Amino acid sequence: MEYKLLAVDMDGTALSDSKELGPRTVEAMERAIANGKTVAFSTGRSISLIRPYIDMVSGMRYAVTSSGASVMDLKTGEKLLYKTIEPETVKYIIAQASGRHVMPVMFMNDESCGTRWCVDNCADFGLKAYEPIYRKCMNIVDDAFNYYMEDPKPIEKLNLFFANDLEAFEVLNALRELPVTFTCVTEHSLEINASGVSKAEGLKVLCARLGISMSECIAAGDSENDEPMLACAGLKVATANATERVKIMADVIAPDCNNEPIAQIIDEYLLA
């Protein structure tokens, strides 16, 4: 099988634990693109939080962001897909989360928005490694919930990170009847998208634009929100640090994210 597209997750996959995109990975991505392949980030982050990495890879044309809510042509700015959560639903989510020790990260209008005291205390929420990119690329406001309520609008994605045990599941139980998709759920976090959103749907839209089949795609990931994308790809790649569920799905187990696994996958499979 000749593979034509590599859809690669970022955190835990293409990026190291210190959130760096290694030089071998950049070189391999650019070499693949120069040889007519499509290499696209497929990430839970907003476009604003991946711009510095896109700028590192010459020729990258497309990105799947916000766990599949948005698919963008980076050259023209065209949105091939854009699915949002309606304001009344967002307001209800905020009402259930307010009053808790929670760090909200909201994606809207291609930007990310967060609360200042939360960013100042990223470590409390298990997000210390993200603090530099938040400070560089996020719209940091006094209170993200109040900021939103002053001007409600559709949003691409809402991340809620909790410092205390059980609160994520308490909020999850209060939100189960909403028309949303929980693209990732952990003991301390909820990632919330519009109903039907997934990285798989984003990848399907991108394949349609390129005129290729899903069987001609390699997908690489490590966590829950990567599972739908892996399930529909022609070659499924998990990093060695991936969850057990992702590893079970995978055709190939690549090195862990600190050892530039994507460079190896490009050389052994995309450019083979």
Burial class (CB in 10 A: 0-12, 13-18, 19+), 1: exposed
Mean pLDDT of the 236-249 span: 98
Mean pLDDT of the 30-57 span: 98
Q: pTM of the entire structure?
A: 0.96
Instruction: Please tell me the predicted confidence (pLDDT) of residue 213.
Output: 97
Say if residue 1's pLDDT is above 90. Answer: no
pLDDT, tens digit, for every residue of 144-199? 999 999 999 999 999 999 999 899 999 999 999 999 999 999 999 999 999 999 99
pLDDT, tens digit, for every residue of 102-136? 999 999 989 999 999 999 999 999 999 999 999 99
Instruction: Please tell me the predicted confidence (pLDDT) of residue 90.
Output: 98
Rounded to the nearest integer, the mean pLDDT of the chain is 97
Instruction: Please tell me the predicted confidence (pLDDT) of residue 108.
Output: 94
